[in-house]
Structure 1
Amino acid sequence: MSLGGDDGYGGDYGQDPIRTGGASPRGHLTRTHLPEGDDDPFAPPRRGTTRPGKPSRNLVTVVGVVVLLIAAIAFANRDDGKNSSDSGTDNDSNTSANSRATAPTGERPVEGKDDATGIASGFAKTEQGAQSAAANYAVALGSADMLNRDRRHGIVSQAFTSAAAGPLQGKLDQAYSTETLRKIGLDANGKAADGMTYISRTVPVGTKITKYATGTATVAVWCTGVFGTVGEGSTNPVTNDWITMTLKLRWTGNDWKAESFSQQDGPAPVNSDRTASTADEIAKAVEEYGGFTYAR
């Protein structure tokens, strides 16, 4: 959901705040999204070019990595015939956490979650924690809940500092005016007509720290997302866009909170020729597939 330009709160709220497609700036794309706490430290290697008749160096690397992974898994699960009763020792006490194939690594991303909004909280006072906070706030700011006044106020109160929340709520109330919502087929409460469902889901692809100091951070979050209205007769079909949302954060109340945010389009990849799903398939997917807590 596009909220405008770069005035620190997302742009000119006299314009249509509903996103209409776009993309976001380049960054170091190292963000990992976790299904409530599990991470995947492996990412597929980039494909390289090859000369005719010769395997690429990247292909050899991929094969090597796969072989090593298979060997590591086999080693981790092998039964060497020794157990605590045979050796008189406790295997668990002699095995470090780092040697366990499925052991989690890094800092715990969050301590809790707000019951009313579902936004994660308790981020670490580190660059990693700031990026996690920014990614989760970007998801909330790009959600369909932003179209409902009460839920929007709850999101702003949870994600922003107390000094920033009040003024921002007023700006967003103007941006999501009854007239603006009417233009996309929604009522004053951000609800679609009977038989219709408005969808807006934002998915962080990566984050980068652009500025960091004790107690403050500026984080850019590269996102993709889907938005639009599903239902028979919809004139606002579900489509996707690419944006970069930049949030200025401050450490306050033992957590990272946003002071302001802005948004710009891109970077966007070339669209594939994949056949689009039906509106019913999209609606069902949004209902059945839950979102993630995002963590560095």
Structure 2
Amino acid sequence: MITVEHLTKSYRGVTVVDDVTFTARPGRVTGFLGPNGAGKSTTLRVLVGLSQATSGHAEVLGGRYADLPNPGLEVGVLLDASAQHAGRTGREVLTIAARTMGLPASRVPAMLGRVALSEREGERRIRDYSLGMRQRLGIATALLGDPEVLILDEPANGLDPAGIRWMRDLLRDFADQGGTVLLSSHLLHEIEVVADDIVVIGNGRIVAAGTKQDLLSTAGTVVSSDDDTALARALADAGVEAAPSSGALHTSADPGQVGRIALAAGVALTELRAADSAGLEEIFLQLTATAQRDGNVPEGGAAA
């Protein structure tokens, strides 16, 4: 369980995380979604004790991460796959982590195998790893202590399509076995496919939160015809707002209502469907429209 309550973080008088509250529950993948600079990484840094909250608090498994006696055995964390010692091998990185946690050396080859890094790749220096390989090694380190909770920031960066599919399956399996997953990303599709719950942040504030199904239920309808101008006019005359979206129209009305309006107006439809992911994308863009990439000033001056 992860609990964030009224969390606020300011740097040099600029508030980058503003009264953020959400919960990530066991047995579920919670997607933490927002554009670059929205405050995602800052929130995670506070959560794992790398930054101090200005006010509010963030807890993992009922307490502060910093108070856990051996945090790697309870919480697996991957915030930056590039922040690994370039001169060490993958095997050395995992061996040092295992010793720190008091784990047997046998965990190292087991974790390399779990993240599909070969024995030969385990002997290579990190400086010779691709970003995707560093991501896999970072995930292996997070999983090393068999934790109850995973906290991952942009774990799909650098992974090819097969690697992204592998990561999704791994996270789904982890959650299905009762684990808690908090997955931060600015990529809508990555979150949509694997997440059970979604938290959307923009300009440091939570703008939407709920189950994926709840958010999709508000996604509305995608509709098109041979004459979208006439269709839009018919919808407007019926009091239904519609906006252009990828060569069609998107509206918050349900498909049945849209179909009846088109029929009454004598407009033949070429497409009529629940918006689903297209609607979720539209919701995301609307909710985060005012979020500027450089609008926040996280610690060190980097985007969150």
Same fold (TM > 0.5): no
Normalization by structure 2: what TM-score? 0.28
Which structure's relative contact order is higher, taking Cα pairs within 8 Å and 6+ residues apart? 1
Which one has the bigger helix percentage? 2
